[in-house]
Amino acid sequence: MNTFFLLIGIGMCVLVLGCLFRVTYGPTILNRAAGISAVGTKTLVILMIIGVLHGRIEMFVDISMVYALLNFVGCIVLAKYLERAGDI
């Protein structure tokens, strides 16, 4: 079962690289913002997989919840900034 979670974790890391490509070379600022949000979501899943692999899921759930809150607040702040700057 650990091998399965390890392979899923590696697959998620590859998907994060794809999202980072979108963040770097996105044609519009909205594509870049969506890429940043997707990276944050995939990082949450990777954290949970690490928790399962280490057998300390309760600790990694707490870390993931804080990271999810920071990701959400960051997306809201970015949206407000882009709205005020007139880029949207």
Question: Do 43 and 67 form a contact (C-beta atoms < 8 A)?
Answer: yes
pLDDT digits (tens, 9 = 90+) for 38-79: 999 999 999 999 999 998 888 889 889 999 999 999 999 988
DSSP state of 28: S
Domain range spanning residue 50?
2-85
- Please give the single-letter amino acid code of residue 2: N
Long-range contacts (CB closer than 8 Å, 24 or more residues apart) made by 6-11 = 6/53, 8/49, 9/46, 9/49, 9/50, 9/53
Number of domains in the chain: 1
Q: What is the spatial distance between Cα 7 and Cα 40, in angstroms, rounded to a whole number?
A: 20
Q: What is the pTM of this model?
A: 0.83
